Structure 1
Amino acid sequence: MNDPSHPFTRRTLLQGLGAGLALAPLGALPACGDADSTPGTGGAGGAGGGAGEAGTGGEAGVGGQAGADSEAGAGGQAGAGGGGDWASGGTGSLSEDYRDPFTDDQGAACALTCAMTLGPCYAQTIERKDISEGYPGLPVRLALRVVDEACSPIEGATVDIWHTRNTGLYSGDDSVDMCTSGDEDALSHRYFRGVQPTDAQGRVDFDTCYPGWYSGRAIHIHFTVRVGGEEYVTSQLFFPEALTAELFAGHPDYAALGQPDTTNASDSIYGGEEYVLSTEKQADGSLLAWKTLVVRSSLADELCSTGGMGGPPGGGMGPPPGG
């Protein structure tokens, strides 16, 4: 378990979050310290940042325990059959020699990344590269690059991400109950949460697994970018529909859970194709996914919003598959 004194916790805020609220300042959080003793294979990055304003409201959490659950610590072996020869079992099979996906010319200007809801499932995070804690799933190298509106990389920004495991549950005993469904394993871990600083190219890499789904939401990854300890944008990233359909039809870590009940287009928070990750299957069966995140040059500049600030239809979300 985590040291409860570790920074980047918003227990009190999350208890009161509801659907349909717009962005509102949260106040600064302390700087991220050293990674704690939570099991996992990821190394720590450089010094983390604090937080300033953050988005509020939006999506409700999940309820009910997921079916077809797998135990943690699967070790990440690659190449287990099904799902088009994708790797399975977790992040242990990820390599360090995947190609650099950020070789394209961004042009003279970059389109600003706009805000989407924080949601109620934010919880205490840890500075680390591998955020899987040994849980199963398709191994994913998630590469994110932070630049300003002139396309110049921002060094030392912190990127904080969180998402569900393959069965559709979030982790953390400081997340609201509907995010973990009261599942004891989810409450006692902090899987698929992490924060890291960007390098001189504005890049940060996370080792993770393809997320799961829960009713009312398309599969997504939450993120917050902070510069100089101040929050510049909180938003979400999505996956290509065809890839999701393939994995949940045949991949051994997902097929038993069935197809998601919500597509990107029918998700009330989805911000459009520009928020879909670029993806590429690697020779070892893992997935390389990447996106450039463009932040405003100053907090004095207006923060745009995609309009994806509310919750799913009906004001709440249903359980993960099997819940």
Structure 2
Amino acid sequence: MDQKKAPHAVTRRDVLQGLGVALAAVPLAGLASCDESSASAGSGGAGGAGGAGGTGGTASAGGWASGGTASMSGDYPDPFKDGVGATCAMTCALMLGPCYAETIERRDISEGYPGLPVRLALLVVDESCEPVEGASVDIWHTRNAGLYSGNDAVAMCTFDDADAESHRYFRGVQTTGAGGRVDFDTCYPGWYQGRAVHIHFTLRVGGQEYVTSQLFLPEDLTAQLFAEHADYKEFGQPDTINSADSIYAGDGALLSTALQPDGALLAWKVLVIRSSLEETLCGDADGPVPPGAGGGPPGFGGGPPGAGGGPPGTGGGPPGS
């Protein structure tokens, strides 16, 4: 795969053509609801200590960088410098979704695709708030046009888009060091019908899965970007906000964010794993997906931005992805 290949601009026409793709049935992990302590944009809490400065959703349109990770300076504050406190609530499970595919060990997962550049800092700790060394952090999300990548992804995740299938953008894995932290350079995700903007992740220790879940972005920040940012406004406003997303588990799943001087976004979260696989994981990781959850049956209302409504069964979006 040539990561320097010029990205293909996915248009609304491309998306509409993708609606004819046949939906494939795949096993999904279940939903969870848990009340992890919240961390709002630019603030501290269980989602990450304060100190990064600023609030992502308040910047003017001219203050945001564009064009992807090439514009990042990399000189960002440590959002965890004040520690994580004395109480660490377990990160609860949310569904895997059908759009997981082969990943790559790397820090920059953008492959040169456009978007608001994001430094995503994740700190893995145990329930005693101690950093976990050797934890594998695997993340994946859509590009600004609302498409996942990979020729091994389910067809409804890429909409049979040749460019999406020939790349592996916005997928990556890293392993924590002694401090328990990993950083990814990425871009703000896109949206598709039936889901709020989100990032998937799986945490493994010793090759064993400890939790699979999803992270969400602040609604006000998402609304501003899709209204004003050059790399997003052509796709219109997301049709689903966090509180209306059937998979959203509350503000405990929300990333903290802060605009940086170079126009990039710093986003961060503390991820708390259970002490052992024998310990019960909060959430229902093995349960079924209820009708309508995240664009799932009946009707498959999901689809990339601009796909439109259409009769039940024609939405084409990845259910619960």
TM-score by length of 1: 0.75
Of 258, 273, 276, the residue aligned with 2:251 is: 273
State whether residues 66 and 115 of structure 2, in contact with CA within 8 Å, keep that contact through their aligned partners in structure 1.
Answer: yes
Of 209, 215, 220, the residue aligned with 2:193 is: 215
**Runs of 4+ in structure 1 over 6 Å off:** 306-309
How many Å separate the matches in 1 of 2:182 and 2:288?
A: 26
Q: Does 1:17 align with 2:26?
A: yes
How far the C-alpha of 1:322 sits from its partner, in A, is 2.5
Q: Does 1:179 align with 2:157?
A: yes
Kindly tell me: are residues 306 and 89 of structure 1, through their superposed partners in 2, closer, same or farther at Cα, counting changes over 3 Å?
farther
State whether residues 216 and 317 of structure 1, in contact with CA within 8 Å, keep that contact through their aligned partners in structure 2.
Answer: yes
**Percent same amino acid among aligned pairs?**
68
How far the C-alpha of 1:321 sits from its partner, in A, is 1.4
Of 142, 157, 164, the residue aligned with 2:142 is: 164
How many Å separate the matches in 1 of 2:171 and 2:279?
A: 29
How many Å separate the matches in 2 of 1:166 and 1:279?
A: 18
Kindly tell me: are residues 313 and 179 of structure 1, through their superposed partners in 2, closer, same or farther at Cα, counting changes over 3 Å?
closer
Structure 1 SS opposite 2:209: strand
How far the C-alpha of 1:175 sits from its partner, in A, is 0.4
Structure 2 SS opposite 1:291: strand
How many Å separate the matches in 1 of 2:295 and 2:97?
A: 15
Q: Please name the residue that 1:287 is paired with.
A: 265
How many Å separate the matches in 2 of 1:95 and 1:229?
A: 34
State whether residues 119 and 186 of structure 2, in contact with CA within 8 Å, keep that contact through their aligned partners in structure 1.
Answer: yes
How far the C-alpha of 1:282 sits from its partner, in A, is 0.2
How many Å separate the matches in 1 of 2:122 and 2:137?
A: 8
TM-score by length of 2: 0.75
How far the C-alpha of 1:312 sits from its partner, in A, is 2.5
How far the C-alpha of 1:96 sits from its partner, in A, is 2.6
Aligned length: 254
How far the C-alpha of 1:15 sits from its partner, in A, is 6.0
State whether residues 124 and 132 of structure 2, in contact with CA within 8 Å, keep that contact through their aligned partners in structure 1.
Answer: yes
Structure 1 SS opposite 2:225: helix
State whether residues 224 and 235 of structure 1, in contact with CA within 8 Å, keep that contact through their aligned partners in structure 2.
Answer: yes
Unaligned runs of 5+ in 1: 3-13, 24-81
Q: 1:187-266 counterparts in 2 under 5 A?
A: 187-266=165-244
- The AA in structure 2 aligned to 1:275 is A
Kindly tell me: are residues 266 and 135 of structure 1, through their superposed partners in 2, closer, same or farther at Cα, counting changes over 3 Å?
same
Higher helix share: 2
